[in-house]
Structure 1
Amino acid sequence: MAADNPTGGPGIVTESTPLLRDQPTPFPRTPKDGRSMTASSYDGDLLPYNSYSTIDWLQGLIKDSARRSQVESLPRHSIRMRVATWWDFTQGWVAAFAVGILTASVAFVVDVSVETVADWKEGYCARSIWLNRRACCSVAEFDGSCSQWTPWAQGFSSRYAIYVGFALLFGLISVGLTMTTKATMPAADASNGIGQGQPQKGDKVATGKILYLASGSGIPEIKTILSGFEIPHLLDLKVLMVKAVGAVFAVATGMCLGKEGPFVHISTCVGYLVGSLVPKYAANERKMREMLAVACSAGLSVAFGAPIGGVLFSYEEISTYFPRRVLWRSYLCSLVAAAALKELDPAGTGQLVLFETNYGVDYDVTHYVIFIFLGICGGMFGGVFCQANFAWSKSFRQLGLIKGSPVLEVFLVVLLTALLQYPNQMIRDTGDIVMQRLLVDCNVVTEDWICQQEALAEKGGYYAWLISGTFIKLILTTITFGCKVPSGIIIPALDGGALFGRMVGQLVPDISPGIFAMVGSAAFLAGVSRMTVSLAVIMFELTGEVKFIPPFMIAILTAKWVADRICADGVYDLAQHLQGYPFLDSERALAKVRELRTTGETALVEALVPPAETMEATTVLTGPNYRVAPSILRAKLEGLRVRGLIDAGLVFVNHQGLCHGYITQAELADALDVVARLDEDGDVNLLDGIFSEHINRSPLCVSAKAPLEYAVEMFDKLGLRYLIVVEEETARVAGVVVKKRLLKLLDE
């Protein structure tokens, strides 16, 4: 997808397709697996993929099969074979275990730090400034007070000003750290459709969108990576550290965001770093994505103490490729992460359940009407939120002053949040504490402020705080999501739903309002994220209320139906669209193909064929005995880079136009580098030497007259990086289609 913000400047226009501008390929290159250059069979991509390119899942499968064949080729029943086989089987489980332990360790540090830093807005511990209020007051005085905790001031105005000042300071620290992860997306100019014309001197260069790798939840980016797209450095150690520290200060500001989304990004970074140490994963992008999918489950597991929900979240919301072995390793990783965090006990409760409740009363059939009502309201908010947040990002965040200075936006949002939330005791604290207080059962707890207000005969003031808190929370959540700080949408959506549910619960007699706060939180999150099965499981793990699974399911299902009618995409899908990440959703793609057919437009594969100029740049005519001059190949490679055809390679055809093979840019650069170092004269033989191990002699082909659904399913089910289109009558090559070209056509 093309970037939204091309800027002026002399240069060359890139190919006007979703193919993104390439980065220079480093030299020299060597095969990733260290094999001999004299191998004669093609066994998948041998080199790291170019920046921002799409991986080839099918070739990853071939390469993994070749690796396993090497293990099985060892002398049968020998000790060496047994050890190699055992290690090949075990290393995935060992890596999953390590990811769980490390993720829990990071989560422990973040959880304790958030509580400590957030408490600094109110005061400090006289014993040690590094102790949070809970730890400082672990041994309270006889009258229940805590003399060790020292507020910064006594008067309301002074405490208000200090609270706002600390919130602004923490916000600036968080956004300042996030700015250190700035990256520029490569871009392709979108001025003329699918790639017409040649680059002309004096044309403008399409510059890429600015991307802050540690900002947001990271879930849209991880979904994109797991679908086969590469975002360099997103999972680096630096990003992990900035994400963790930035999340601490961002959550401590009191902004309408949570650390739960960033935990998924953090755990995926851990998975990538651990996987990079395991040869089976480090050398194969397909296998690496299996490890990343496993790691995702640990992130949500430690965020909510929901190990089963973490596995289902990775399966339902994040992954596009989730075989059974990934399911079992996710199960282990999520279990280990949750168990380790329980032992570390960052909350000091000794419990894994984050918002444990026990209402002691049951619902009856009449309450189902209220659960459905909460689902309808949650769906309405979710649909409106997605549209409003998308419009906010396309309007306010595109203003010159805001777009050029993310720090200013964060400053304004933090200032507005602190000013509006502090006067209201219900929403003054961080999101998880707000949620915990809203789920309170006043039949058991009486000293809580909410319970004291609900016990009053005159509740007008309490209702005003409840209603104002609901609207403030929902509005601030809408303008906060997307700020350039580490942030998640899960906790703010839960808070908004809990506030609304508690408000509705005031109208229902003889049952705890906390029950409706609990169901309302699930409904609002379902409306925003469109999660279903995983969310129902997360909610009962989050609260420990197994008997409320049916109300959860009813509210979640209703919310999803209503939200889908208002806005077809959930918040993470819209975030992907805003960033311009290529992501193929086969169901929606097939629906768009049907729409093309009903409007009378071409719904055949031939609609994907690139223009003649592009095919000229990507086609090489082989001479007798499959020989080609290296100078021709170098010129073609340079042409691909200049035109910004990042995912395109070269297709080799004979004088009849029949396909004889395909080579990617990275592999072509490697082969040409080897030829240059060997200082060989004359033409090179494509069937011998270095080229023979790089050229794919059997690329998948499809007829130009085939229905467009064929291409959609082949790219989706087989995970292709490219597809050769041939003429129906002659089988001559008509074009080479990459996944992003298909996405561009469907997007238009």
Structure 2
Amino acid sequence: MDYFNIKQPWNDDIMLLPLTNSNRNNLHNRESINKGKNQEDDDFDIDDDEEIPLYNKTNNEMENFEVNGDNDFELEHAKYDDFSTIDWLRDIMSEKTGKKKQINRNSLNQYIKSIIDASQSWIIVLFIGILAGIVAAFVAISAAWLSDIKTGYCPSNWYLNRRFCCLKVEDKVNHSCSRWVNWSQVFFNNPDHGFFNWIVYVFFAALFAAASSYLVVHVAPYSAMSGVAEIKTILGGFIIKQFLGAKTLIVKCISLPLALGSGLILGKEGSMVHIACCIGNILTKYFSRYKKNEARKREIYSAACAAGISVAFGAPIGGVLFSLEEMSSYFPVKTMWRSFFCSFVAVFVLQFMNPFRGKTVLFQATYDRDWHFFEVISFLIIGVFGGIFGSLFIRLNIRAQAYRRSTFLKYVRIAEATFMAFITSVISYFVIYMRMDESELLEVLFKECEEGDHYGLCQRSKRIVILLLITMIGKAFFTILTYGVSVPGGVFIPSMTIGACFGRVLGIILQHIQQAYPSFPLFNSCHPDKMCITSGMYALLGAMATLGGVTRMTISIVVIMFELTGTLNYIVPCMISLMTAKFVGDAFGKGGIDHMIIRLRNYPYLDQKEEYFIGKKAKDIMTLKDDLITIKSTDATIGYLKRILNENEYQGYPIIDKEEYVTGYITRSDLKTGLERNLLVNDNAKCRFGDLKNVSSSSNSLGSREHSNEVRNVDFRPFFDATPISVDENVTAEFIIDLFKKLGSRCIIVVRHDKLRGIITKKDILKNIEELDSEYFDSIIGIHRRNQETNGDKSYTLRDALRILKIFKK
């Protein structure tokens, strides 16, 4: 991808991200704010279901202030900026405030409105499921047709792929089909002209890859790769505008089948998660409850993630667990129910569309033989392989991505994708298992020999073992190089295919040993006249182990594979292999491929599942007060606020009084909104934040809009946070991390005896966390990062990696 001439979302001198709404339980300054509250609120209790009063007003105080032309006070907040962090507390409390207002208005209209509001989430997830199922069927059918068109076409029905063209007429032994015509037969009436068929195969592969990459580079750059790392970051509370937009959705739906059809070693599963989230984001724009509430949008995104995996694997329960285990930072029980409903609808629609002849996924398999205790050693071997391969894959792929970003390859993205497809197709054409579509190969590897000889896999020969090993090594090599080029696609299916090849080889070898030495004591539990080793199940275990090694997922993979096989007999082997892969992988370094991509691009993502120990105090990691720009609550003028917006790029400003006690916090976007509401006000007008008891009615009258040049006071209370989260400077960093995790804060104010000492943002926390494993991560990135830093090239640092998301904007 391209990283040049792009303005950074932030730079070294800017220490503040757009920061927080407040800890509503931190009420150290609420007494003065609420001094004038009405008698009807005297017994107000703060709980999760009630509106928290940021302040109350008396008639004497408010008669001198004009808030947007209305004396009724309502909080106003600007939209979040691109590449900013959301305030979970603010958004959640905003919704609760709206609910309470509806409850207090006991009318039939409000009751009907509350029912409509409650039904919005179910309507959204219903349509997400329907559309995700339709898109999944389209992607599966079009990718299969594009993949098969490289070898020939169906004269009777050109729009059919080979599977459907040869339905019920294909020779199961020789895999020949009279209805399917290859290109040498079309042009030369000679079906055995292998060289010409190879040329056409390579040409179409390069053409499809070039078309896919062109759409990504020039139309929708956010559609590149799988998008899972970015979605995890978005679900963690980060704003990446247009990443889930309509243009990204359309381009990804078109370019994904092209990339898969080109033969690039990529999968569609991660991309289906991105597509489903795009659908969810577009739908939320038409529902009032979710349109302006970013926290609630993320509940919809969680359900969309579940639907995306469900249609990819045909596993609705596994999809829900995937969203819970791998993706979501905030996953309440109601989101789980919506996710399950969304997954069910998506899988139902996919099966109704019938792209896999009645099955919910192409490589669905069943096994009826039980496993034997002596096979536990084999299960452990598969798990060890999965963990080692996962760690090696992550290390090499991240290094390849780092190299790609620091060399000339970032300028030739379309050529790179085309070249990768060319090389892959040139080599893959001569190995039947490499030439096959990824999902079709998994289907073949998972099947048992009782169902027929699938492309020679049931032959007891060294040739098959060698071909499978060549396929495993070749696909591993090309996946490492391909994942990261400017086309859509993920690594779920490729990593499963690699593991399935290894598992099938191990199963064939063990099966051969058992049949050669049936009287060996280890095989006493095997029946002499029946097949003892289920080699297809070994392929399934291998697929699970490598997927777990690459992603470091556990529970969701077990459930997905259970839904694929439909049997409980192999749950224990699945758990043995998967947990072994997890332990072995973590021994080489924690974090799956998406986690390392997040680190590489320096997204502000705080993993909820990880426990961090920094060993510092708040005063050691905070940005000092002297490095901040503060706003005096009693002396600020409109002109001063305009100047601080124009002269710096800080994303938030603490508000203090004359004695430097903290009275609030205002983000840059909210401050800008407040000034835009008062464009006609004189620059010398005082801005009030908080208590208005010192404002006299005679000297501070606002006047009318027609007399806007008169000096007057402007009320900024609707725009700032009167109760930001604050901690003492001596609290531990671990406590602060828990606050960021559990409260979803954008910043935390550091005080000493209630006086401002500094501020801590999520960025400050992440910088210190990175130091804990910087040696391991630097070893992954390798010499490319160090060389650039040595040469003085500051464009390639972890902090600047968000440029990836903006590279095609020019």
Structure 2 length as normaliser, TM-score?
Answer: 0.79
Q: Tell me, what secondary structure is at the counterpart of 2:569?
A: helix
CA distance in 1, matches of 2:176, 2:414: 40
Partner of 2:206: 168
User: In structure 2, how many angstroms separate the alpha carbons of the residues matched to 1:711 and 1:12?
Assistant: 25
Counterpart in the other structure of 2:632: 621
Matched, 1:536 2:558: yes
- 1:304-703 aligned within 5 A: 304-347=313-356, 349-395=357-403, 397-446=404-453, 448-451=454-457, 454-456=458-460, 459-509=461-511, 510-586=532-608, 588=610, 590-591=612-613, 593=614, 597=615, 603-615=616-628, 617=629, 619-623=630-634, 627-641=635-649, 645=650, 648-677=651-680, 682-687=685-690, 690-703=715-728
CA gap of 1:21–1:708, structure 2 versus 1, over 3 A, is closer
Is 1:92 the equivalent of 2:115? no
Structure 1 letter corresponding to 2:101: Q
Q: Deviations over 1:184-219 (max 9, x none)?
A: xxxxxxxxxxxxxxxxxxxxxxxxxxxx31011110
* 2:208 is the counterpart of 1:159: no
- Partner Cα separation in structure 1 for residue 9 and residue 334 of structure 2: 47
Residues 358 and 691 (structure 1), Cα distance of their counterparts in 2 relative to 1, 3 Å cut:
same
How many angstroms does 1:147 deviate by?
Answer: 3.4
Structure 2 match to 1:736: 759
Equivalent of residue 13 in structure 2, options 13, 16, 19: 16
Structure 2 contact 226–270 (Cα < 8 Å) conserved: yes
Distance in 2, matches of 1:419 and 1:19, equals 51
The equivalences for 1:179-328 within 5 A come to 179-181=217-219, 212-328=221-337
Q: Deviations over 1:445-493 (max 9, x none)?
A: 13x2224xx335xx12222211111111111111111111101110001
Distance in structure 1 (CA, Å) of the matches to 2:136 and 2:149 = 20
| 1:140 CA displacement | 2.9
**In 2, Cα distance between equivalents of 1:493 and 1:280:** 40
Question: Is the CA contact 1:582–1:743 (under 8 Å) kept in the aligned structure 2?
Answer: yes
Rate the CA distance shift 1:694–1:399 in 2: closer, same or farther, 3 A. closer
How much has 1:680 moved relative to structure 2? 7.8
Name the SS for the 2:654 alignment partner: strand
Q: Is the 8 A contact 2:625 2:756 kept in 1?
A: no
Distance of aligned partners of 1:613 and 1:129 in 2 relative to their CA distance in 1, 3 Å threshold: farther
Structure-2 separation of matches of 1:36 and 1:434: 64
**Bigger CA radius of gyration:** 2
Are residue 67 (structure 1) and residue 98 (structure 2) matched?
yes
Partner of 2:111: 82
Query: Do 1:589 and 1:712's aligned partners in 2 also have CA atoms closer than 8 Å?
Result: no
Moved more, 707-716 or 542-551: 542-551
Conserved 8 A contact 1:40-1:693? no
- One-letter code of the match for 1:704? E
User: Partners in 2 of 1:112 and 1:39 — Cα distance?
Assistant: 60
1:726 to 732, 739, 751: 751
CA distance in 2 between counterparts of 1:240 and 1:570 reads 26
Sequence identity (%): 32
Rounded to whole Å, the distance in 2 between the matches of 1:507 and 1:527 is 23
- Does the CA contact (< 8 Å) of 2:688 and 2:715 recur in 1? no
Offset at 1:17?
5.1
Once the two structures are superposed, residues 295-338 of structure 1 have per-residue CA deviations (whole angstroms, 9 ceiling, x without a partner) of 11100011111100100000000000000110010010001111
Deviation at 1:357, TM superposition (A): 2.2
Q: Secondary structure at the match of 1:651?
A: strand
Partner Cα separation in structure 2 for residue 156 and residue 545 of structure 1: 43
Deviation per residue, 1:410-450 (Å, 9 max, x gap): 1222122112211111121221011111112112213x222
| Change in CA separation of 1:39 and 1:741 when aligned onto 2, cut-off 3 Å | farther
Query: Matched residue of 2:631: which SS?
Result: strand
CA contact (8 A) 2:15 2:623 kept: no
Q: Which amino acid aligns with 2:668?
A: Q
Offset, 1:530? 0.3
Contact 1:42 1:696 in 2 (8 A): no
1:136 is matched with: 165
Instruction: State the AA in 2 paired with 1:416.
Output: I
Aligned to 1:590, the other structure's residue is in SS state: coil
Q: Does the CA contact (< 8 Å) of 2:562 and 2:571 recur in 1?
A: yes
Q: Which runs of 5+ in 1 are unaligned?
A: 23-34, 183-211, 598-602
**Aligned-partner residue type, residue 319 of structure 2:** G
Within 2, Cα distance between the matches of 1:722 and 1:404? 37
Q: Shift in Å at residue 690 of structure 1?
A: 4.6
Q: Partner of 1:96: helix, strand, or coil?
A: helix
User: 1:557-613: CA deviations, max 9, x gaps?
Assistant: 00010001112221000111122211112564623x1xxx3xxxxx00012221455
Greater shift in the superposed pair: 384-393 or 150-159:
150-159
Q: Secondary structure at the match of 1:484?
A: coil
Cα distance in 1 for residues equivalent to 2:560 and 2:721: 45
Q: Does the CA-based 8 Å contact 2:88-2:744 persist in structure 1?
A: yes
**Superposition deviation, residue 694 in structure 1:** 1.0
Of 120, 141, 147 in structure 2, the residue corresponding to residue 118 of structure 1 is 147
Task: Give TM-score scaled by structure 1 length.
Answer: 0.86
Rounded Cα–Cα distance in structure 2 between residues aligned with 1:266 and 1:387: 27
**CA separation of 1:42 and 1:321: change in aligned 2, threshold 3 A:** farther
How far off its partner does 1:36 sit? 6.3
Task: State the AA in 2 paired with 1:609.
Answer: M
The AA in structure 2 aligned to 1:372 is: L
Quote how far apart the aligned CAs of 1:639 are: 3.0
Name the SS of the counterpart of 1:662 in structure 2.
strand
CA distance in 2, matches of 1:359, 1:141: 25
Instruction: Look up the SS of the partner of 2:758 in the other structure.
Output: strand
Cα distance in 2 for residues equivalent to 1:104 and 1:55:
30
Name the Cα RMSD after superposition.
2.5
SS at match of 1:213: helix
Of 142-151 and 405-414, deviating more is 142-151
Q: 1:449 corresponds to which letter in structure 2? A: Y
Name the counterpart of 2:63: none
Contact 2:317 2:560 in 1 (8 A): yes
- Cα distance 1:37–1:694, how it changes in 2: closer, same or farther (>3 A)? farther
In structure 2, do the counterparts of structure 1 residues 232 and 141 end up closer, same or farther at CA, with 3 Å as the change threshold? closer
Q: Cα gap change, 1:585/1:17 in structure 2, threshold over 3 Å: closer, same or farther?
A: farther
SS of the equivalent of 2:727 reads strand
**1:190 corresponding residue in structure 2:** none
